[in-house]
Amino acid sequence: MSQKGNKSSIFHSWPFGKRNYLLFVVGLVTIILGYILMYTGETSSFQSIVLSPLILVIGYCVIIPISIFIK
């Protein structure tokens, strides 16, 4: 026997809000900017050795996790 009347909805709501997606996009833009800075700088310049890795770490380790964990 099947219970057609006792149907519960599995979908309740989206797991992330507008703020989460906005922060995620900001993180992706930050990461892309870091890779562009690394590509355009000289091999042994401040831009390629210090600045772009710092921007990449901020994008990967700070902004993206904040966009996932923030409620």
Domain extent listing, the chain: 27-69
User: How confident is the model over 57-63, as a mean pLDDT?
Assistant: 98
Whether 53 shows a pLDDT value over 80: the answer reads yes
**CA angle (33 as vertex; 30, 38 as ends), nearest 5:** 130
Tokens found for residue 38? 């690394």
> What's the predicted TM-score (pTM) here?
0.79
Q: Residue 64: which residues within 8 A CB-CB, separation 6 or more?
A: 24, 27, 28, 31
Is the pLDDT at 5 greater than 60? The verdict is no
Percent of the chain at pLDDT above 90?
Answer: 73
